[in-house]
Amino acid sequence: MSGGNTNEPSFRESVNSLFDRAVQRMDLSEGLAEKIRVANSTYTVRFGVKLRGDIKTFTGYRSVHSEHAEPVKGGIRYALAVNQDEVEALAALMTYKCALVEVPFGGSKGGLCINPRDWETDELERITRRFAFELIKRDLINPSQNVPAPDMGTGEQEMAWIADQYHRMNTTDIDARACVTGKPLNAGGIRGRVEATGRGVQYGIREFFRHPDDLKAAGMSKGLAGKKIVIQGLGNVGYHAGKFLQEEDDCKIIAVIEHDGAVINENGLDIETLKKHVSEHGGVATFPHGKHEKDGAKVLEMECDILIPAALESVINLGNADRINTKLIVEAANGPVTAGADEILRKKGVIIMPDMYANAGGVTVSYFEWVKNLSHIRFGRMQRRQEEARQEMIIEALEKMTGQNFPPELRNAFVSGADELTLVRSGLDDTMRGAYGNMRDLWHQSLKKDKDMDLRTAAYIISIQRVADSYRALGL
Ligand code: NAD
């Protein structure tokens, strides 16, 4: 999808121009920069499935952007607008994202031109299995080469079908389950994957709020509580981000934009109630606890502290960038801000937490799931009870030495050993904090010489440097 202005470049061109902005600030040969910039390959498949008494033909893609690390990783999207340009842009972002958060994968992405709402579950299963068959037989789904995950329009169910399809075609592969991530728990998934991208958005925002300099750059007061947030898209990512920010950080979600318009409530929307309503009624239009606005795009321009686009790409573009009225944009979606809009917003002093960082929670926990599948054991299973026994001993010793009782309100938290969900969240939090630290260090250091430096360019520089180092190590 191109931006709102017809003069705007395509999504892939937009990603490339943000890439070039970073490369201009690096000491990288033109040849190596070009090698990193381009997609290595994009496979297009057209396949037929007999449905409703006729043969329906579907078009799908799997693009591999960079194989400097393998397997390559990236979600599969189901949407009518899927096209080669979009898939290649998304695959490129996966390369940079994995490098930024130190997940040892290359970048890939897939897509199928389909509106999942048009099909019944059993029909979707047949379509998904057929698409997976086409990709598996070309090793475009494979535990050691190419590992998909959910994206827009897909979720646990599609991933379970893909895993099963791979297993049927590779019956003796003991690592078959590692061929895809984002599976349900009973099919080899990991606790915390469904919430991971939204959780990562929350951890990223929390980290931003730990740095007074960054708040100052955004013109924001400290403390997340009470901050006004607008969210676009109440799907997997938008829902979880909104829910956690509201329930755990006391933020006020003042508007949610969905495919059928927006719902606004300056006193704050209850995300759990709204999500239930959307699931039951298919949209936000009839939600009774807020004002409905038909023109969802207009609500992106509403005054707020944090704007979280969590649906589509190119929604903030040359057509509306100068009217965006927020201090911080957190790109939960991939590519929601076009390169042209990025420039306008930078000049306005709006801080942008870039997609390759903000939504990296998904791929981070996918990495944990892949490791779990290959090790064939749940995280925490071996050590949890042993940890608890040791903590009990410490309490006993403390009580003996001091003659006093350990505070009962702290006892449970102190004793309990980490289970899988706790470990996954801890690993995700550590990843988000570490990557943010790297980005902001470069941002602030460079600002002294380069007034035009921003978080996104810093993120690109770090990622490109890491990919370049891998290529050099490979002897390229
Ligand atoms: P999803 O399909 O679960 O949700 C998308 C939501 O956006 C849906 O509720 C849909 O109704 C809504 N929507 C569609 N058109 C809209 C419009 N015009 N205006 C407002 N809302 C609209 O998808 P998701 O998995 O939450 O992905 C959303 C974004 O996050 C995508 O850009 C995706 O690439 C990115 N992302 C997802 C993950 C993940 O783990 N799922 C990881 C990284 C990045």
pLDDT in tens, 202-250: 999 999 999 999 999 999 999 999 999 999 999 999 999 999 999 999 9
The protein residue with its alpha carbon nearest to ligand 1, atom 4, reads 235
Pair type for strands 54-66 and 106-112? antiparallel
What's the confidence (pLDDT) of residue 162? Answer: 98
What pLDDT score was predicted for residue 454?
Answer: 97
Q: What is the pLDDT of residue 27?
A: 95
Residue 257 belongs to what H/E stretch? Answer: strand 252-258
Distance CA 340, CA 344 (A): 7
Closest protein CA for atom 34 of ligand 1: 334
Q: Which residues contact 159 (CB under 8 A, 6 or more apart)?
A: 148, 149, 150, 180, 181, 182, 183, 184, 187, 189
199 touches 245 (CB < 8 A): no
| Domains present along the chain, CATH in parentheses | 42-187 (3.40.50.10860), 190-383+418-476 (3.40.50.720)
Read off the pLDDT band of 474 (50, 70, 90). Answer: confident
DSSP string, 94-151: HHHHHHHTT---EEEEEEE---GGGS-HHHHHHHHHHHHHHHHTTTSSBTTTEE--B-
**Rounded Cα distance, 226 and 237, in Å:** 21
Give the distance (Å) from ligand 1 centre to CA of residue 233.
6
For ligand 1, atom 3, the nearest C-alpha belongs to 235
Assign 296 to helix, strand or coil: helix
Name residue 338's amino acid: T
Size of the chain, expressed as the number of residues it contains: 476
- Encode pLDDT of 344-356 as tens digits: 999 999 999 999 9
Which ligand 1 atom is nearest residue 182's CA? 40
52-106 per-position pLDDT tens digit: 999 999 999 999 999 999 999 999 999 999 999 999 999 999 999 999 999 999 9
Ligand 1, atom 23: closest residue by C-alpha: 152
DSSP 9: P
Give me the pLDDT at residue 3, please: 46
User: Annotated catalytic, 109?
Assistant: yes
**Helix-strand-coil percent breakdown of the chain, rounded to 5?**
50, 15, 35
Q: Which residues contact 305 (CB under 8 A, 6 or more apart)?
A: 220, 227, 228, 229, 326, 327, 328
Which pLDDT value is given to residue 7?
A: 78
Q: How far is the CA of 152 from the centre of ligand 1 (A)?
A: 5
Q: For 337, which DSSP code?
A: B
Residue 350 CA to ligand 1 center (angstroms) comes to: 23
Residues 6+ apart with CB under 8 A from 287: 263, 274, 277, 278, 281
Q: Which of 73, 97, 109, 228 is catalytic?
A: 109
Over residues 440-452, mean pLDDT:
94
The pTM score is 0.96
Determine the residue of 82, 151, 239 to mutate for testing ligand 1's pocket, defined as the one with the most ligand atoms within 8 A of the Cβ atom. Answer: 151
Distance in Å, CA 235 to ligand 1 centroid = 5
Question: What are the tens digits of pLDDT across the range 239-251?
Answer: 999 999 999 999 9
Cis peptide bond N-terminal to 354, omega within 30: no
By the 10 Å C-beta count (0-12 exposed, 13-18 middle, 19+ buried), 278 is classed as: buried
Is residue 269 over pLDDT 70? yes
Dist. CA 298 → ligand 1 center (Å): 18
Spell out which residues line ligand 1, taking CB within 6 angstroms: 150-153, 197, 232-238, 257-259, 296, 310-312, 332-334, 359, 362
For residue 6, what pLDDT band results from cuts at 50, 70 and 90?
Answer: low
- pLDDT in the model for residue 322: 97
Nearest alpha carbon, ligand 1 atom 24: 152
* Tokens of residue 330, six digits: 């957190």
Count CB-CB contacts under 10 A for residue 469. Answer: 12
